[in-house]
A and B are shown apart, each in its own frame.
Chain A
């Protein structure tokens, strides 16, 4: 295809891109760079603008504001067939009137590739997605997973610089989905093609991505590695959308050294790590993951830990973990995740109605940036 640009240059660049549908901004002043060969996920709930972002990239939509660059070239006005990318659609979008081989060769034929070469490349592409010899099968004879692979082969046979994937695993059953996740990740590394993957499935994004862009309400909320997104969410949206989070609010009372004491809006004080941003008297909101929390009897709270008193409301058995739902004295419900170390034949530690203290280490929390 086109000549490769130096690897330091971003393959894809969004610069203050906005797209409006009527009054509504589907994509609202979004900027990001995507690096060569990266597995980049765009994650968010439906209606967050992730699909529009992908459609802008593919060229099905034109940005109203800002610039989109592919391989260093602004492509705002370029039609999809003029862009160096491939795409795998949510519903696969295989041509029902063509067999598997003709589906895969469709793009090659448009590029007037010599006949002999086409047959060869189609064969190799089908081998790559582990469907060797499927050329003459009809699309209707294939299972969902096989169709997905054909769609992948059809895009990859053109050796695009960038592959767009629009929730490609949404319609596949769980076990196959796990397999395909690993395969996609493998293809990404093996072929050194930049993958841009749109999904609403946070677990999928965490499993596969080098970096994740979390979108909400048309805006880019946070961009970072899976660990950054999960362990250091910057907003309550990110903290709530990726994994479970408990939120606590309050006003900053005192700073002493590395810690800040917060007068919680629930009545009890707790401590958080001090940062530059925190000002005395300012409102603050923190997120604490359920697995960072613990429950103790009210009088057995370990020294130095934050503790909020409440009553056990429910116990949920999830297999690897046990969730204990505690209603704090403030009325707020908190979820605590404990590792399941076996419950059969043991006396139950917690019963509904027990008084309990929910505790966490002051450093095990994320101070959020959104206004409390």
Chain B
């Protein structure tokens, strides 16, 4: 009897594994074929010689990585980093209060959240073009301001770095608001009341209780904004023009017009390195938070 039961348990056990694999399988297959393999190809390309008309020649070289440290490209890299950080900070400064209000808005909550994700209903390309019509010299903003007599001649907005940041902030704001909203929504209200009874005024309460407890949402939002911003090319391309290139544009350029696939690959991998480092920082901070919550070091 017991042997029979043991047998049945083993059967169930192995089949539980089978069930897990059948659920994981399709996704893993997909990621292996369409993520891992291309990634390896790109990695390999980055160490090869460029082909004359695009493509590569099978010859090992570190030329692409060496080229990356040319001041011209380092500048692009630096600009990408600065604009991405700026975008993230602005998104946080605008998005956190919004998320805070939405989380406390009661019956309006659903409508406000709907409005936050409404822009996703149209493609970013269309929305970015619409921003050009808004910001160009003969665009809506300049026309209005001149009609109102506020400015005598158009302000140059398009093809500047601020224009790029405005576009990036606009595109990424929902990715900041949603995770921050989720963490504020989860916040136990009695903790805020406890802080208040213990003598914390609103500002102190916010810094000592609300911010630490919503930190996971803040970090997730920052990552979701920062990483795509690093790799963005549509906004910088349309709103920044050639003078304000970001890494995304450089990569696009190398695989396109410049026909230097190895260099494009190397730049992609340098970008991945930055993303990876920021991920590691995130996990370190997150990990410390988790440890702190459990009473660790």
Give A contacts to B, CB under 8 Å.
58-60, 79-81, 83, 85-87, 89-91, 93-97, 99-100, 106-107, 110-111, 136-141, 154-155, 158
Contacts and interface: CB of A to CB of B under 8 A. Distances in A.
A81 B197 contact: yes
B190 interface: yes
B152 interface: no
Given A81-B196, A95-B209, A137 B190 contact: no
A107 B198 contact: yes
A141 B295 contact: yes
A79 B188 CA distance: 20
9 contacts: A58-B193, A60-B193, A79-B196, A83-B197, A93-B190, A97-B293, A136-B295, A140-B293, A158-B198
Interface in B248-282: none
A113 to B, nearest CB: 11
Given A81-B201, A86-B197, 8 more contacts: A87-B197, A93-B188, A95-B213, A97-B212, A99-B295, A100-B295, A137-B295, A138-B294
**Main secondary structure on B side of the interface with A:** helix
A57 to B, nearest CB: 11
Nearest to A137: B295
B151 interface: no
A87 B196 CA distance: 10
Contact of B197 (A85, A100, A141): A85
B199 interface: yes
Contacts of A155: 197
Contact of B198 (A79, A110, A138): A110
Contacts of A59: 196
A170 to B, nearest CB: 13
Contact of A80 (B193, B208, B209, B213): B193
A106 B200 CA distance: 9
Interface string B168-193: 00000000000000000000101101
A111 B199 contact: yes
Contacts of A97: 212-213, 289, 292-293
A95 B188 CA distance: 10
Contacts of A106: 195, 198, 200, 208
A26 to B, nearest CB: 17
Contacts of A139: 293, 295
Contacts of B213: 95-97
A81 B194 CA distance: 10
B204 interface: yes
A91 B189 CA distance: 11
A89 B193 contact: yes
Contacts of B289: 97
A87 B293 contact: no
B194 A110 contact: no
Interface in B216-256: none
Contacts of A107: 198-199
B26 interface: no
A95 B191 CA distance: 7
Contacts of A80: 193, 196-197
Interface string B58-83: 00000000000000000000000000
Nearest to A60: B193
Nearest to B215: A97
B296 interface: yes
Contacts of B293: 96-97, 138-140
Nearest to A96: B293
Given A81-B201, A86-B197, A93 B191 contact: yes
A111 B292 CA distance: 24
Nearest to B294: A138
A1 to B, nearest CB: 11
A310 to B, nearest CB: 50
A59 B294 CA distance: 32
Contact of A141 (B191, B198, B294): B294
Nearest to A154: B198
A101 to B, nearest CB: 10
Contacts of A154: 198
Contact of A58 (B188, B197, B199, B294): B197
B190 A89 contact: yes
A81 B295 contact: no
B199 A93 contact: no
A107 B198 CA distance: 5
In the complex, the 5 A-B pairs of residues with the closest C-beta atoms, listed nearest first:
A138-B295, A107-B198, A110-B199, A93-B194, A93-B190
Contacts of A85: 197
A89 B193 CA distance: 9
A136 B196 CA distance: 23
Contacts of B194: 87, 89, 93-95
A89 B190 CA distance: 8
Contacts of B195: 95, 106
Contacts of A110: 198-200, 204
A89 B194 CA distance: 8
A140 B292 contact: no
A106 B205 CA distance: 11
A74 B296 CA distance: 45
A141 B292 CA distance: 12
Contacts of A140: 293-295
Nearest to B208: A106
A81 B193 contact: no
A183 B208 CA distance: 31
A158 B197 CA distance: 11
A214 B85 CA distance: 59
A107 B209 CA distance: 12
Nearest to B292: A97
A142 to B, nearest CB: 9
A138 B198 CA distance: 20
Most interface-central of B201, B295, B296 (chain A CB within 10 A): B295
A141 B294 CA distance: 7
A91 B295 contact: no
A140 B296 CA distance: 11
A154 B188 CA distance: 18
A100 B193 CA distance: 18
